[in-house]
Structure 1
Amino acid sequence: MLRLTIGQINPTIGDIDGNLALMRAAARKAASEGAQMVVFPELSLTGYYPGDLLDEPGFLAAIERGLEAARAASRETPDLYWVIGAPVTRSGPGKRLQNALLVLHQGEEVLRYAKQLLPTYNVFDERRHFEPGPDVARILKVGSTRVGFMICEDSWNDAGKDYAVNPFERLADAAPDLVVSINASPSNLGKRAQRHALFAAASRRNHLPILYVHQVGGHDQLVFDGASFAATPDAGVVFEAKQFEEDIVTLVFENGDFLQNDCSAFPGPVAEALSPMAFYRKQIVLGLRDYARRCGFKKAVVGCSGGIDSALTLALAVEAFGAENVTAITMPSRFSSEGSVSDSERLCHNLGIELLTHPIREIVAAFESGFTQATGAAPQGLTLENLQARVRGTILMEYSNAHGHLLLTTGNKSEISVGYCTLYGDTNGGLGLIGDLYKTEVFELCRHINAAEGREVIPLAIIDKEPSAELAPGQKDTDSLPPYPVLDDILKHLIEGDRLGPSEQETVQARMADLIATDTGRALIARIKGMIGRNEYKRRQAPPILRLRSRAFGSGRQMPIAARHTF
């Protein structure tokens, strides 16, 4: 029998002392529960992913001090093996570091395993800093249990499709009783189900029980959802830790099965998957909280237009910060409808937040007059529309500077994709909460929040009104864009393609087939594709966006700015 504690912690990138404090607290809890081993996530000492901090000599020296401190800390729990993740130095040709799993016991390193498969796709770039480990299995006997070890990506190639090496095969040959896998697997829609299916299949095929230990928390664009789990060859996933929360929980491994710490069986199957909207809500709130906390912000400010995007952003900000720490600013112009102000007032009343009013009519008029005097021509059309957005962006940044609030940008994925946003205007801000939500999903999430709260948090008047930037008389989004249901299907096809989940992909492909069947539809697809390409320069200068879907704008989609999109 082996008692293992899952150390599902929320480490901060670069905060080695703080991360070690989290591990020490978890280890003390594990020891108090009679555990023989406590397991922490991939790169738990540094947080995942340190990026080019790994090129800084000072950071490398801090890692060495952290490793020495971790070895010393392991002496505090002499009956406990610590499984941690950390960068370690190596010699010889190639990169000077490896992404390693270390087992510490009574102040000594008793096992080291270096990650073999280093991902360089989507948001990952581990080969930039790390050298792959050798194709060997590492086994440690703890009591009567033989434990084998893996690190994240090493476990994802059991089907043999992505790499020439399958570490599971070597590990299966070594015949451990149990596999412990430490992980940092960024969360996106459908990822939890993907993990469960993949590891249940690997457990079954290799006849190996698996303990999957994961981190939780937000780091820049990425959010990690926790949800560590245990799987067996016969039953698949039999246990899952909390989602989107830290969780320190002790399991018993005996005769190939996982049990509760009192040696009783788990009561039933793991929880059902969250609905897409519930998932988005939890991921955004956790991502915002951690981003703000780690960047030193305690309050947020949002420009409130009376439209659905700013309404959703404010509702999510209130959930993350609390109503007392969120400020909304409405900035009506001469083109603003009466409803834009009244709807903003009602929304902020429902949310319990302060609404400031800062009209921009006179400011815009002063810019118009100055521009006319300087150039001999009055600004009009797109120039005037963008001027209003930039004045608003300036006011919001002014408030952020004056009061120390984090400015949240309000663009959604549909509009950001086609450039329906203004640089240095509504793209101003420190973080985009809904930039990976298509417009149709924005509407759906607003309705979900109202239903979940059992009241009209976001006024139906905002949800039901026709979308408009209100930068020109009678302006509607559909003046220059197709209806959002049509636009979103095209965008999903062009941006995410085969990365969509099976059911969503089937729906999108069917709708795209209808468009491709007509000259008008093909022309529309070509136009949207061109708009996506032409507006890459805007996205490159926009704030980071919390990643929710399999392919988000940012580090996971690297496209050139100066390119032709004629294919």
Structure 2
Amino acid sequence: MATANPLNIAIAQINPMVGDFAGNVKMAMDAFQEASRLHARLLVFPELSLCGYYPGDLLNESAFISKSYQALGELASFSKQFPGITAIVGMPRKSNGPGKLLYNSLIALNNGIVIAEYHKQLLPTYNIFDERRHFEPGPQHAVGIDVSGYNVGLMICEDGWNDSAENYAVNPYEALAMIRPDLVVSINASPSNIGKREQRQQVICAAARRHALPILYVNQVGGQDSTVFDGASFAVNADGLVAKQWPAFQTVVDTLTFDTHTFLPQPHFPLNSLDGYSVDEFVLRHIVLGLRDYARRCGFKTAAVGCSGGIDSALTIALAVEALGAGNVIAITMPSQFSSSGSVSDSRLLCDALGVTLYTHPIKALVGDFSQQFHDSFADELKGLSLENLQARIRGTILMAYSNHSGALVLTTGNKSEISVGYCTLYGDTNGGLSPIGDLYKTEVYRLSAHINQRAGREIIPETILSKEPSAELAPDQKDTDSLPPYEVLDEVLKILIEGDQLPQPEFQQARDFVANYRSTAAGETVYQRVAGMIARNEYKRRQAPPIIRVRPRAFGAGRQMPIAARH
């Protein structure tokens, strides 16, 4: 047990970008300066903070690895200005042994010198993770560093999640016990989803309590492609209670004090406390951060959305305004002969409430010309599904033409319920560069829309949109329920078929009980099997759709890898 003076620790909950070495090093340098101002002796960055998480197959490129080492050299040289600060950063490190050529590594720097290295032992390959593709597991031993008389044990993300020994044969906590650290520092790139922050705290708090080890958990923040990182770093005392936690969805450089065997200040925070966020507010902030970072990092300053006067496009536009500003969002309404009168008028009400420019581009003449040419060429008439999909594809073409003309990012408006069962048109309403609400079930779309109004204290999304019956408006008097079960039923069935026990426990129990009761009748079982078949048959559409901002534990994309050509 250390008997040193209290240790001031700075956490750098930063938003690094994959491959932006100059920008990431600049963030680290700024954090050094702030840590010095705050009189910190230890400065902790997230996992792979120098190169960004997750680089994917960029890790196979020698130039990328060289730039990582160059970034480390620049930061090490800069650290000489702050000899009293030991910094912990993450980067890929070359391996000298057999197997993969790289480790996922933690580097401890002091006064320009690498004083310690620790290599991640447990490499996740589940859900959205595929670290074993690029990295070799680190040696099964612990690493500690001396910081102002304290023995600080080191750990990287997944290493802290196997104390129950359910997922790997190795438990890094056992090796840590051999070096008897005063506290443990874990650097992380832990993705955000509904229920994840609670899960994180439960796992780390249980390990801290079992091993009587204070643990500092530092996580990155920001959006990277489909994945959003929420930050929400926290410190846990040896009794398993949270001593301090930092905000979600914000960059933070802040300090806390460690004295003997305890993080200060206390009182303890309630486990699972979410800064007072409701689930709806959490989802809103999550999507907004993901959308903002995606646009910024891909070089888009503006976004364009097809505005149907329906709930999905209304929510997408409202989220885009929150992320990018009203002046950077364009809405385009494209009425056809089947569009209701509210399609345009409700779109106008929405855009007026948000301060968004609305353009009108009717498609009736285009559909007529295309249909006539189709008849002239093939001696047959376009009707039924082919005519419905033609309208969606013409709208998609208009949006992409506007994108090419203006440089705007087209946002796709489909929700998870529709995407799951293929109630969308490939090369039509699936067109776009990003799908902000593609991981929200339809019932969640309504709930989040109502939350936006409540949050604003006024009607942002018009009541006429919230209350109208869902319809694709591609045929006379068409309703979604002509093709699908009611969304209140469909969504519970989809939760079980797609996410199952990966759902947060209360939600899983509710969905499981609902579906079990629903399937107890012959009619319910028929619907259940039909929905399961629709999910399987439409994998080809999802494979060609734009990236979806991941919100839930199991989202379409890298986290759900299913074959297209299969019988199941």
| Residues 447-486 of structure 1 mapped to structure 2, 5 A cutoff | 447-486=450-489
Q: Is the 8 A contact 1:9 1:40 kept in 2?
A: yes
Name the residue aligned to 1:421: 424
Code of the residue aligned with 1:406 in structure 2: it is L
Q: Which residue of 1 aligns with 2:560?
A: 557
**CA shift at 1:233, angstroms?**
2.1
Shift of 1:522: 1.2
Aligned to 2:180: 175
Letter of the structure 2 residue corresponding to residue 467 of structure 1? P
Aligned to 2:342: 339
Query: Contact 1:99/1:130 (CA < 8 Å) preserved in 2?
Result: yes
The two structures have a TM-score, normalised by structure 1, of: 0.98
Query: Are 1:139 and 2:155 matched, yes or no?
Result: no
Cα deviation digits, residues 365-422 of structure 1 (max 9, x gap): 0100000000001100000000000000000011111111110000000000000000
Long gaps (5+) in structure 2: 1-5
Which one of 203, 207, 210 corresponds to residue 205 of structure 1?
210
State the 1:274 CA deviation. 2.4
Counterpart of 1:359 in structure 2 is 362
Q: Does the aligned pair in 2 maintain the 1:411–1:432 contact within 8 Å?
A: yes
Q: Which stretches of structure 1, 4 residues or longer, exceed 3 Å deviation after superposition?
A: 265-273
Matching of residue 509 in structure 1 with residue 523 in structure 2: no
Distance (whole Å) between structure 2 residues aligned to residue 483 and residue 172 of structure 1 = 54
Q: Is the 8 A contact 1:172 1:208 kept in 2?
A: no
Question: Which residue in 2 is equivalent to 1:120?
Answer: 125
CA distance in 1, matches of 2:8, 2:444: 43
Return the offset for 1:268.
5.8
The whole-number CA distance in structure 2 between the counterparts of 1:183 and 1:376 is 62
1:149 is matched by which residue type in structure 2? L
Question: Aligned pair 1:308/2:320, yes or no?
Answer: no
Deviates more, 1:75-84 or 1:273-282: 273-282
**C-alpha displacement of 1:506:** 1.0
RMSD (Å), alpha carbons: 1.0
Could you tell me whether the CA contact under 8 Å between 1:414 and 1:488 is conserved in 2? yes
1:161 partnered with 2:166: yes
Post-superposition Cα deviations, 1:6-27, rounded to whole Å, max 9, x if no partner, equal 0110000001111011001001
Sort the Cα spacing of 1:470 and 1:271 in 2 relative to 1 into closer, same or farther, 3 A.
Answer: closer
CA separation of 1:560 and 1:521: change in aligned 2, threshold 3 A: same
After superposition, the C-alpha distances for 1:329-375 in whole angstroms (9 at most, x for unaligned) are 00000000101111111111111110000000001101000000000
Choose from 487, 503, 508 the match for 1:500: 503
SS of equivalent to 1:4:
strand
Say if 2:95 is the partner of 1:90.
yes
Give the aligned residue type for 2:467: D
Partner of 1:184: 189
Shift of 1:45: 0.4
Match of 2:3 in 1: none
- The partner residue of 2:261 within 256, 261, 268 is 256
Letter in 1 for 2:51: T
Say how many residue pairs are matched. Answer: 561
Equivalence map 1:171-320=2 (5 Å): 171-234=176-239, 236-260=241-265, 265=266, 269=270, 271-272=274-275, 274-320=277-323
Encode CA deviations 1:453-485: one digit per residue, 9 max, x unaligned.
Answer: 110000010010000000000000000100001
**Other-structure match for 1:391:** 394
Q: What is the aligned partner in structure 1 of residue 414 from structure 2?
A: 411
Task: Give, in whole Å, the separation in 1 of the partners of 2:78 and 2:248.
Answer: 28
Does the CA contact (< 8 Å) of 2:241 and 2:268 recur in 1?
Answer: no
State TM-score, norm by structure 2: 0.98
Secondary structure at the counterpart of residue 409 of structure 1: coil
Q: Deviation string for 1:134-188 (max 9, x for gaps)?
A: 1101011112211000000000001111110100111022110000000000000
Picking from 323, 327, 331, the partner of 1:324 is 327
Contact 1:216 1:246 (8 Å CA) reproduced: yes
Q: Which amino acid aligns with 2:32?
A: A
Letter in 2 for 1:25: D
Q: Which residue in 1 is equivalent to 2:535?
A: 532
Cα deviation, residue 235, structure 1: 5.4
The equivalent position to 1:20 in structure 2, one of 8, 18, 25, is 25
- Give 1:75 deviation, angstroms: 1.0
Q: Given residue 345 of structure 1, which amino acid in structure 2 is its aligned partner?
A: R
1:92 CA displacement? 2.3
d(CA) in 1 for partners of 2:283 and 2:39?
Answer: 37
SS at match of 1:392: helix
- Asked whether the 8 Å contact 2:244–2:268 carries over to 1, the reply is no
CA distance, structure 2, for counterparts of residue 164 and residue 349 of structure 1: 59
Q: Contact 1:414–1:437 (CA<8 Å) still a contact in 2?
A: yes
Letter in 2 for 1:418: V
Q: Percent identity?
A: 59
CA distance in 1, matches of 2:232, 2:482: 44
For residues 532 and 232 of structure 2, the distance between their equivalents in structure 1, rounded to whole angstroms, comes to 37
- For 2:72, what is the secondary structure of its paired residue? helix
State the 1:71 CA deviation. 1.5
Aligned residues of 1:35 and 1:250 also touching (Cα < 8 A): yes
Structure-2 residue corresponding to 1:59: 64
Correspondence for 1:547 among 541, 550, 563: 550
Cα distance in structure 2, aligned partners of 1:277 and 1:361: 38
Aligned counterpart, 2:524:
521
Secondary structure of 1:431's counterpart equals coil
| TM-superposition CA deviations, 1:252-311 (whole Å, max 9, x none) | 100211125xxxx45865555522111110000000000000000111100000000000
**What is the rounded CA distance, in whole Å, between the counterparts of 1:22 and 1:272 in structure 2?**
25
**2:106 is the alignment partner of 1:104:** no
Q: Structure 2: which amino acid aligns with 1:47?
A: G
Change (3 A) 1:16 1:266: farther
